[in-house]
Structure 1
Amino acid sequence: MDVTIYHNPTCGTSRNTLELIQHAGIEPTVIEYLKTPPSREQLVRMIAEAGLTVRQAIREKGTPYGELGLANPDLTDNQLLDAMLATPILINRPFVVTPLGTRLARPSEVVLDILPADAFKGSFTKEDGEQVLDQEGKRIV
């Protein structure tokens, strides 16, 4: 299965998402988006395919969101996209693209919605100790 993750290795959610993908036996294409940001077209497509608004795809925490005045409700989607592309840390992460769909994997287990359900063998526990899959590889709700 062709899977791409827009990854930040310093982010726990992004690391957990990558590990879940690998736990499914899939070696994804990993794009460290802070080093190699998506094109405007790619970013717009991922946001739309994930069913998000541009504002929902912006990361506020740990970014210059406030200093840049991005909370201003009068800003257009194009202005927000310009800011995200100029300062990629503003792109929320991780976005994951598979043939089954695109998701902003927050929380990380959202990625399970776009991976083959039968791919998981055994349990999976996130870095924080939360168990996501049981011993049979079934999602814990």
Structure 2
Amino acid sequence: MRKITIYHNPACGTSRNTLSLIRNSGVEPTIILYLENPPDRIKLLNIIEALQITPRALLRKNVEPYETLNLAQAHWSDSQLIDFMLQYPILINRPIVITELGTKLCRPSEVVLEILPDRQSGAFTKEDGEQIIDEYGNRIIN
């Protein structure tokens, strides 16, 4: 696997764990700090299509301005929701990872394993102390 891209927020533990899992697979990804460099409309539409979700499903709900804009209301069109995500990139849920094997919204972070090479290079423990990869590079199934 040669090319991996992550839409990353370094202030987010899930995003940091996802980035670390990518690196644990032996690949240094392209990191897009999406709050500083948000995708344009076409790129965001392509991501949503690749994720096979609706714009509403990509909305991050527990941040401002979600409540202020009253985005929980069903009357907003997909186009309007995309406009809000472009204007306020914090509304884009993350981390989003794009690889040759697919595109995933990696919540929880171990979802990224579905689109990474089969083996990790060694043990991995999430920031909260949960070990998800053993010393042999195999996923621990709880």
Report the TM-score, using the length of structure 2 for normalisation. Answer: 0.95
Residue aligning to 2:114: 113
Q: How far apart are residue 49 of structure 1 and its match?
A: 1.0
Q: CA deviation at 1:135?
A: 1.6
**Which residue of 1 is the match for residue 28 of structure 2?**
27
1:12 alignment counterpart: 13
- Alignment partners' CA distance in 2, 1:140 and 1:44: 34
Give the Å deviation of 1:42: 1.1
Deviates more, 1:79-88 or 1:49-58: 49-58
How high is the TM-score relative to the length of structure 1? 0.96
Counterpart Cα distance in 1 of 2:108 and 2:42: 25
Which residue of structure 2 aligns with residue 54 of structure 1?
55
Q: Percent identity?
A: 56
Residue correspondences, number: 140
Distance in 1 separating the partners of 2:53 and 2:126: 25
**Structure 1: where are the runs of 5+ without partners?**
none
Whichever residue aligns with residue 90 of structure 2, its letter is I
Equivalents in 2 of 1:105, 1:63: separation in Å? 21
Q: Deviations over 1:40-63 (max 9, x none)?
A: 111111122112211110001122
2:112 is paired with a residue of what secondary structure?
Answer: helix
What is the root-mean-square deviation in Å for CA atoms of aligned residues? 0.9
Distance 1:121 1:37 in 2: 31
The ranges of structure 1 where at least 4 consecutive aligned residues each deviate by more than 2 angstroms after the TM superposition are: none
